[in-house]
Structure 1
Amino acid sequence: MDAALIDRERTAERLLAASAKHSFDPDTELDWEAPFEEGKWFWPPELVSLYDTPLWHRMPLEQQIELSRHEVASLCSIGVWFETILMQLLLRHTYDQEPTSAHVAYALTEIADECRHSKMFARAVTKMGTPTYRPSRLDHTLGRAMKTVSTTPGSFTGTLLAEEILDWMQRLTFPDERVQPFIAGVARIHVVEESRHIRYAREELRRQMRTAPRWEIALTRLSGGQAARVIARALISPQVYASVGLDPAEAVAAARNSPHRREVLRQSAKRLMDFFDEVGMFHGPAERLWRASGLLG
């Protein structure tokens, strides 16, 4: 076994050990029967898409909090969509791998984590009493195409895009005492378990970007830029605005033109964009796609 494969196995063994010690069952870890607390946010207000816009300042506090509830429901609903794609990408990755390896064992462990997360997100949407916010028909179709044709480095690029942006936001959420304790609990579980997934994906993508053929790396750069655009725009469904009594077109424009919102998205992706730059993701014509996503500073 060469040095790269030995290193990959050691990483997987460490992640398997961490999984054995720090994994959660949301069905028993969270208090699903506890009522939501009056006056508490469902998401830190600074992370709500309309925060500090003129439209935000015209909204009463109750409507702002209600928007935070629907935006978290959108993130949970879209999270199920993301996780479904990621599970399929991981299974495709394991198809040609040695089934007795620690690398494959950890991939299967991660899939089990993602199954629990998807159930947790879906149940949280039900508890919040909101609609299930789905991606647009275009984004749903693009997601289907990605999970079907993605290369291995492309799969791990998409995985990191979906996981690290939400991870940054949730790390601000679970210690915030202004936030509903139930939502903080959901965020805490996801952060702890996703930290392992991020480590696994980063190290594998780094290996892939060193060894994949040129055509595959070029395709990964382009497909990754397109995935970044889709993920950035899919996080918050425009329908959340209608649900709280706002004009969706006006609210979408307010969020799109908000300097604060643009900065939140850039900050949420900064650590990841630095990593992508390090492994050579932004070379050539793909850089324009990445910049169009709003995630690259």
Structure 2
Amino acid sequence: MSDTATPPQSPAAPPQSPVLPARTVVPSQSAARQRNADRELNAARLLRASAKHSHDPLTEIDWAAPVDPDHYALPAHRVALYGTPLWERLDERQRAQLSVHQFASTTAAGIWFELVLMEGLIRHVYAGDLTTGHAQYALTEVADECRHSTMFARYITATGYPSARPTRRADRLGKLHFLLNDTTMTFAGAIFVEEFTDAMQREMVRDESLQPLARSVARIHVVEEARHIGYAKPELERRWAAMTAPRRAVFRRALALLARQSVAEIVHPRVYALAGLDPVEARRAAEANPHWRQARIDWARKALEFFTDLGVVTPATARPWQRGALLP
């Protein structure tokens, strides 16, 4: 027997679990549950607000009241041609009527966008769980938008504006959105359009010199659109956080295009024709008008601040927004 001691054997190390690459890590169930809980809390708050503060424009607005032809619908300095030589050619009643037709055109654009938004919300609900508050608020918003579109159509009729149809370009863009079914773009577009029109209409509500009918329409829209913005913003934040870099690059360009077209749509060329002006000349004058440029920048400010904070708009991607007179 050898007198050399055999060294003790170390116990075998327990087998280790394989380490997954970072890109395959799935978010924890607790984080997902928290996101859903936050989503449901927001929906519950919005549903309560809707129950307390919803309006019926068909009964709350006096549609039979005569429309005074000398009343502006928008503040004079917010009319697209204000301060231009074409504006100077119009008498005071013609200027007031131009403002009425511009707001009627804006409501027609509102119908176009709300139809696009409603279609997107319905698809969003169809793909989700209708037992959730989140889905039920989406349907509540659709009901709001149905009333708003009807209200806008009644305003158009009351003012004698001849059509609620969008331009051909906007019509094609809407149909393209239907085909792409991009729910994230639906929420982003809603934030831009609703913040833009909210800023414009808050000015109208504050100005007691304006046409009562236009102010009534604006007041109802302002109250209810605030809830819609509160629904869309956290949803876009969630979706943006999960978006890949290439997808973000495409999304930035597409959103800028949608925003520019939406703003271009609010003054249809027929507004100028109804004033006896050449639409091509008038549109060119409006685009060069510093007052009209400032109006668009002012009304777009809240949406652009949100998009900038989120990272959707960056210094490197601001140029399309500046070309559209939406950023200084």
Deviation at 1:108, TM superposition (A): 0.4
Are 2:195 and 2:303, in contact at CA under 8 Å, matched by a contact in 1? yes
Q: 1:193-240: CA deviations, max 9, x gaps?
A: 000001111111111111233343333212101101211211100111
Q: 2:178 aligns with which of 147, 155, 173?
A: 147
Distance 1:147 1:44 in 2: 35
Percent identical among aligned pairs is 43
Residues 273 and 190 of structure 1, relative CA distance in 2, 3 Å threshold: same
CA distance in 1, matches of 2:178, 2:249: 18
The one of 26, 32, 37 equivalent to 2:57 is: 26
Q: Which has the larger radius of gyration?
A: 2
- Change in Cα spacing, 1:220 to 1:94, as seen in structure 2 (3 Å) is farther
**8 A Cα contact 1:153 1:217, kept in partner:** no
Runs (5+) with no aligned partner, structure 2: 1-31
1:93 alignment partner, one of 124, 139, 145: 124
Counterpart among 167, 175, 181 of residue 136 in structure 1:
167
CA contact (8 A) 1:133 1:239 kept: no
| Counterpart-to-counterpart distance in 1, 2:299 and 2:268 | 18
Letter in 2 for 1:22: H
Counterpart residue type for residue 29 of structure 1:
E
Matched AA of 1:62: R
Instruction: Give, in angstroms, the shift of residue 144 of structure 1.
Output: 1.2
Q: What's 2:83 paired with?
A: 52
Tell me if the contact between 2:43 and 2:133 (Cα under 8 Å) persists in the aligned partners: yes
For 1:77-88, list aligned pairs within 5 A.
77-88=108-119
From 251, 257, 266, the equivalent of 2:297 is 266
1:151 Cα deviation from its structure 2 partner: 2.5
1:223-266 CA-to-partner distances (Å, cap 9, x unmatched) read 10110121121110011111111121221111000011101101
- Deviating above 6 A after TM superposition, structure 1's stretches of 4 or more consecutive aligned residues are none
Query: Which range moved further: 99-108 or 217-226?
Result: 217-226
* Cα separation, 1, equivalents of 2:229 and 2:136: 16
Residue 214 of structure 1 corresponds to 245
| Alignment partner of 1:37 out of 54, 68, 71 | 68
What corresponds to 1:249 in structure 2? 280
Contact 1:27 1:120 in 2 (8 A): yes
In the alignment, the residues of structure 1 paired with residue 179 and residue 205 of structure 2 have an alpha-carbon distance, to the nearest angstrom, of 34
Query: What TM-score, normalized by structure 2, do the two folds share?
Result: 0.86
Which AA in structure 1 matches 2:288?
N
When the two structures are aligned, how many residues end up with a matched partner? 297
Give the match for residue 231 of structure 1: 262
Q: 2:194 aligns with which of 149, 163, 167?
A: 163
Letter in 1 for 2:156: V
| Alignment counterpart, residue 123 of structure 1, candidates 148, 151, 154 | 154
| CA–CA distance in structure 2, aligned partners of residues 249 and 211 of structure 1 | 44
Give the direction of change, closer, same or farther, for the CA distance of 1:78–1:5 in structure 2 (3 Å limit). same
C-alpha contact (below 8 Å) 1:133/1:237 kept by paired residues: no
Cα distance change on mapping 1:210 and 1:54 into 2, 3 Å: same
- Residue aligned with 1:174, SS: helix
TM value normalised by structure 1: 0.95
Alpha-carbon distance, 1:93 to partner: 1.7
For 1:91, give the aligned amino acid.
I
User: CA–CA distance in 2 between the matches of 1:223 and 1:146?
Assistant: 11
SS of structure 2 residue aligned to 1:33: coil
Is 1:112 the counterpart of 2:146 in the alignment?
Answer: no
For residues 137 and 265 of structure 1, the distance between their equivalents in structure 2, rounded to whole angstroms, comes to 22
How do 1:191-210 and structure 2 match up within 5 A?
A: 191-210=222-241
SS in 1 for 2:206: coil
